[in-house]
Amino acid sequence: MPDISIMHALCRAVSPAITDCELSFIDRESIDVALAQAQHRDYIAALGALGVRVTELPAEPVLPDSVFVEDSVLLFDELAVLTRPGAISRRAEVDAIAPVVQSVRSRVERITQPGTVDGGDVLCIGQHVFVGLSQRSNQAAIDQLTAVLKPFGYAVTAVPIRNCLHLKSAVTALSDDTVLINPEWVAAGYFDAYRQIRVAESEAHAANVVRIGAAILMPSCFPETRALVQAAGFAVSTVDVSELQKAEGAVTCCCVLFTG
Task: Report the C-alpha gap between 114 and 199 in whole angstroms.
Answer: 35
DSSP H stretches of helix in 19-166: 33-49, 92-104, 139-149
| DSSP three-state, residue 120 | helix
Q: Is 8 a residue of the active site? A: no
Instruction: Point out the catalytic residue in the list 166, 205, 254, 255.
Output: 166
Radius of gyration of the chain (CA): 17
From the list 11, 21, 164, 253, the catalytic residue is 253
Residue 253 known to be catalytic: yes
**Looking at the DSSP assignment, which residues form a beta bridge with residue 187?**
none
Answer yes or no: are the C-beta atoms of 244 and 39 closer than 8 Å. Answer: yes
DSSP 164-196: SSSHHHHEEEEETTEEEE-TTTB-GGGGTTSEE
What residues act catalytically?
A: 166, 253
